[in-house]
Structure 1
Amino acid sequence: MPPYDPSAFPPFAVTVDLVVLTVRRHALCTLVVRRGEPPFQGSWALPGGFVRADEDLGAAAARELLEETGLTAYDPAAAEPVPGNGAHLEQLATYGAPDRDPRMRVVSVAHLALAPDLPAPRAGGDANSARWAPVEEVLGQRKADDEDGPSGELAFDHARILADGVERARSKIEYSSLATAFCPPEFTVGELRRVYEAVWGVSLDPRNFHRKVTGT
């Protein structure tokens, strides 16, 4: 058997992309950055970047979140968890279409981060601005109130990644306690109900919700 030859295989890179969700002004919002470099220069995108040779995926996701936005997160599944503001961080899915990045073959491991009412982000890395935007506006389900906000398709395949992240959050809060990741350490049943309403995009009967929550 001939010896293993790495040069016989096409090179490819691994990146992490971040779907960061929070509830602001009773609306489910996502973090987007305006790209400052090609490709898609000037377009809005999810925060993220290339994984370094000496780091695992969870650490790369936490690092990119900090570098591009100034926000920190905590990944309990990481080999070396990165402490921060208590934001929930988990792997979402892997995206590897051959033409998803015009630079080269790039496989992205997307992560989902959730936290309560996060502060205004700070742009950095290859992003020249960062902002919170309502999910409905970013996904084109509602007209944007701000002309400078995201409009049209996000860069790369980030619209699909964002839609998958929102669907993950919406489904998981139905059968788990994930909704509390959007709340501060102490919260009322009314505040929790408004989180469910923001994530699901529906109005819930306060009495029925209170009865269900206190019963479980």
Structure 2
Amino acid sequence: MNVNVTQNGAEFRVAVDLVVLTVRDGTLAVLLVRRGIPPYRGRWALPGGFVLPDEDLPAAAARELAEETGLAGPAGHLEQLATYGRPARDPRGRVVSVAYLALLPDLPVPVAGSDAAAARWVPRARIGALAFDHARILADGVERARAKLEYTPLATAFCPPEFTVGALREVYESVWGRPLDARNFHRKVTGTPGFVVPTGGADAGGRGRPARRYRRGPAALLHPPMLRDRGDPAADTV
């Protein structure tokens, strides 16, 4: 049973859609499902579905993620992204969707379930046409993630509990889509109050001294921010 809302005699349904992002093999990846039912049967789409009666919106998002992909509720960061209500966005009728953005560490390969015929992590650069208006929702989610990496420590949501500065730099490079100067990045990360805290451990291997491990610090905002260069990607040095 779906949530049906009536306004001025017109009935519409409420849905949730999820932009789920991770970094896999140095690439920003998006969780997609192949629809197993009409409309857009066989097309790739964002995970999501209709909200059930008496169900809170975040609970609906977590349920749809688990039902369609086999992944439990996000272990990283989850926030409401935006609401999409263009009248013709869904051929089944008037549907208003509340979209959520999830930033997750690398997770196992998802397993399709519910009304999804397949589920997989897809590199952002390789995504083509999507069902409904999901291309717009995805674009909004990616831009939100890119912007929040500038002024919050949310890049750590893509990392395990302990990580190196090099691994954190890989997150920024993957999400922003451009290489960063390693020395400048290390200096800014370790010099920003509350961004990261050393754990006392280190990763051995490779040449030179072992890389120190860190965890997320207590800061909610970064001062100064990690501003990205919106011009030539090759010129971006953070």
CA contact (8 A) 1:69 1:123 kept: yes
Amino acid at match of 2:30: T
**SS at 1:19's partner residue?**
strand
Q: Which residue of 2 aligns with 1:104?
A: 93
Q: Which residue of 2 aligns with 1:145?
A: none
CA contact (8 A) 1:183 1:192 kept: yes
What is the deviation of 1:8?
Answer: 5.3
What is the deviation of 1:163?
Answer: 0.3
Q: Which residue of 2 aligns with 1:124?
A: 113
Residue 165 in 1 paired to residue 154 in 2?
A: no
Q: Provide the C-alpha distance between the structure 2 equivalents of 1:163 and 1:72, rounded to a whole number of angstroms.
A: 24
CA contact (8 A) 1:73 1:88 kept: no
Classify 1:208/1:71 alpha carbon distance in 2 versus 1 (closer, same or farther; 3 Å).
same
**SS at 1:97's partner residue?**
coil
Classify 1:99/1:173 alpha carbon distance in 2 versus 1 (closer, same or farther; 3 Å).
same
**SS at 2:10's partner residue?**
coil
What is the deviation of 1:189?
Answer: 0.5
Amino acid at match of 1:44: W
Please, what TM-score do these two structures have when normalized by structure 2?
Answer: 0.77
**Percent of matched pairs sharing the same residue:** 71
**SS at 2:183's partner residue?**
helix
Which of 157, 170, 175 lines up with 1:194 in the alignment? Answer: 170
CA contact (8 A) 1:93 1:109 kept: yes
Q: Provide the C-alpha distance between the structure 1 equivalents of 2:96 and 2:81, rounded to a whole number of angstroms.
A: 13
Q: Which residue of 1 aligns with 2:43?
A: 43
Q: Deviations over 1:159-184 (max 9, x none)?
A: 00000000000000100001000000
Q: Provide the C-alpha distance between the structure 1 equivalents of 2:95 and 2:7, rounded to a whole number of angstroms.
A: 17
Matches within 5 A, 1:1-216: 9-74=9-74, 86-138=75-127, 151=128, 153-216=129-192
Give the aligned CA root-mean-square deviation in angstroms.
Answer: 1.1
Where do 5+ consecutive residues of structure 2 fail to align?
1-5, 193-238
What is the deviation of 1:118?
Answer: 1.4
Amino acid at match of 1:199: V
Q: Which residue of 2 aligns with 1:82?
A: none
Question: Which has the higher Rg, Structure 1 or Structure 2?
Answer: 2
Q: Provide the C-alpha distance between the structure 1 equivalents of 2:34 and 2:8, rounded to a whole number of angstroms.
A: 37
Where do 5+ consecutive residues of structure 1 fail to align?
1-5, 75-85, 139-150
Aligned residue-pair number: 187
Q: Which residue of 2 aligns with 1:143?
A: none
Classify 1:210/1:104 alpha carbon distance in 2 versus 1 (closer, same or farther; 3 Å).
same
Q: Provide the C-alpha distance between the structure 1 equivalents of 2:52 and 2:159, rounded to a whole number of angstroms.
A: 32
**SS at 1:108's partner residue?**
strand
Q: Provide the C-alpha distance between the structure 2 equivalents of 1:154 and 1:176, rounded to a whole number of angstroms.
A: 30
Superposed structure 1 runs of 4+ greater than 4 Å apart: none
CA contact (8 A) 1:49 1:64 kept: yes
Amino acid at match of 2:85: G
Q: Provide the C-alpha distance between the structure 1 equivalents of 2:181 and 2:141, rounded to a whole number of angstroms.
A: 26
What is the deviation of 1:136?
Answer: 1.4
